[in-house]
Amino acid sequence: MKVVVCVKQVPDTKGGVKFNPDGTLDRAAMLTIMNPDDKAGLEAALRLKDQYGAEVTVVTMGLPKAEEVLREAIAMGADKGILVTDRVLGGADTWATSQTLAGALRNLEYDLIITGRQAIDGDTAQVGPQISEHLGIPVISYAQKIQIEGDSVIVERQYDDRYHVLKAKMPCLITALAELNEPRYMTPGGIFDAYKAEITTWGRADLKDVEDSNLGLKGSPTQIARASDKVRKGQGEKVTLDPSESVTYIMDKLKEKHVI
């Protein structure tokens, strides 16, 4: 069984957020961590390795510095790491990112692809499902439990108030929630092995069946109009009314703001 996990190096918000003049994140200047949903996805893959001897390959797209997140994954128990990095891939939105990752994944054999639900820096939850579309395989998103049965995967898909149980034939793609599991720690020996391991680096030329027009900033339909650090909310408005007047007042305000 072969499992590929897509992970992203994201800013560690504890260290503060920094921006480039064009509004994109200045990733090189920030402290980083492995995206929590992705880490849960990796843990799910490592459990499949423990249980079924699955081979776990970790793929990331990013700056050369993103290699660190692959070493972390190997220190946790992953077998191989692939870094997709190229200047022409920079500034990608979810569309261009999913195209890039799909281009990389076409070079690999897989039964399962696991991505995190969403990254804490963009919060779009689009990349995983888009990859599955590009590759023409089923997707089960928001996985809170994963089981293997023969050549199928049975997944509990989380909703606000319930979950669905879905079964899909492999190969398929799953997007994992941080709540899926408690990721294991790296081991000290694993860390030293991870730094001895060879990381495969792929550039634009290594991506399979992808048009240039779908890559990088130029291939990104989404443009960032403006970005800012957390905006402090204003004081708000305080009114003192009796209960029945309050209801009318709140309803009017919600209508005014087009909430209802």
Partner 1 sequence: MDFTLSKEHEMARTLFREFAEKEVKPLAIEVDETEEFPRATVEKMAKAGFMGIPIPKEYGGQGCDVLTYAMCVEELAKVCGTTAVIVSAHTSLCCDPILTYGTEEQKQKYLPDLASGKKIGAFGLTEPGAGTDAQGQQTKAVLEGDEWVLNGSKIFITNGKEADVYVIFAITGMIEKRGRMTKEISAFIVEKGTPGFSFGTKEKKMGIRGSSTYELIFTDCRIPKENMLGQQGKGFGIAMHTLDGGRIGIAAQALGLGEGALERTIAYVKERKQFGRAIGAFQNTQFQLADMATKAQAAQFMVYKAACTKDQYTKDHKTSYNVEAAMAKLYAAEMAMEVTTKAVQLHGGYGYTREYEVERMMRDAKITEIYEGTSEVQRMVISSNLLK
Judged by the rule CB under 8 A, the positions of this chain that interact with partner 1 are 68, 71-72, 75, 184-192, 194-195
Which CB atom, from 187 or from 222, has the smaller least distance to partner 1?
187
- Smallest distance, Å, CB 62 to partner 1? 17
Annotate 90-105 with b (16+ C-beta within 10 A) or e (fewer).
Answer: ebbbbbbbbbbbbbbb
Burial (0-12, 13-18, 19+ Cβ within 10 Å), 145: middle
Say how many C-beta atoms besides its own lie within 10 A of residue 197's C-beta: 15
Which CB atom, from 33 or from 114, has the smaller least distance to partner 1?
33
The span from the CA of 17 to the CA of 15, in Å, is: 7
Which CB atom, from 81 or from 91, has the smaller least distance to partner 1?
81
Alpha helices in the chain (DSSP H): 36-52, 67-76, 94-105, 127-135, 188-196, 243-256
Which CB atom, from 49 or from 184, has the smaller least distance to partner 1?
184
- Smallest distance, Å, CB 192 to partner 1? 5
Say if CB 56 and CB 68 are below 8 A apart. Answer: no
The amino acid occupying position 144 is Q
Which CB atom, from 76 or from 140, has the smaller least distance to partner 1?
76
- Smallest distance, Å, CB 189 to partner 1? 3
The amino acid occupying position 242 is D
Instruction: Give me 76's structure tokens.
Output: 């946790």
- Smallest distance, Å, CB 176 to partner 1? 20
Instruction: Give me 227's structure tokens.
Output: 């970005």
- Smallest distance, Å, CB 81 to partner 1? 14
Strand spans (E) along the chain:
2-6, 9-11, 32-34, 55-61, 80-84, 112-116, 139-149, 152-158, 163-169, 172-176, 200-202
- Smallest distance, Å, CB 187 to partner 1? 4
CB-facing half-sphere around the CA of 33: CA atoms within 13 A:
13
Which CB atom, from 123 or from 185, has the smaller least distance to partner 1?
185
Which CB atom, from 150 or from 189, has the smaller least distance to partner 1?
189
- Smallest distance, Å, CB 178 to partner 1? 14
Which CB atom, from 31 or from 227, has the smaller least distance to partner 1?
31
- Smallest distance, Å, CB 104 to partner 1? 25
The amino acid occupying position 4 is V
Question: Residue 62: which region, alpha, beta or left (left: phi > 0; alpha: psi -120 to 50)?
Answer: left
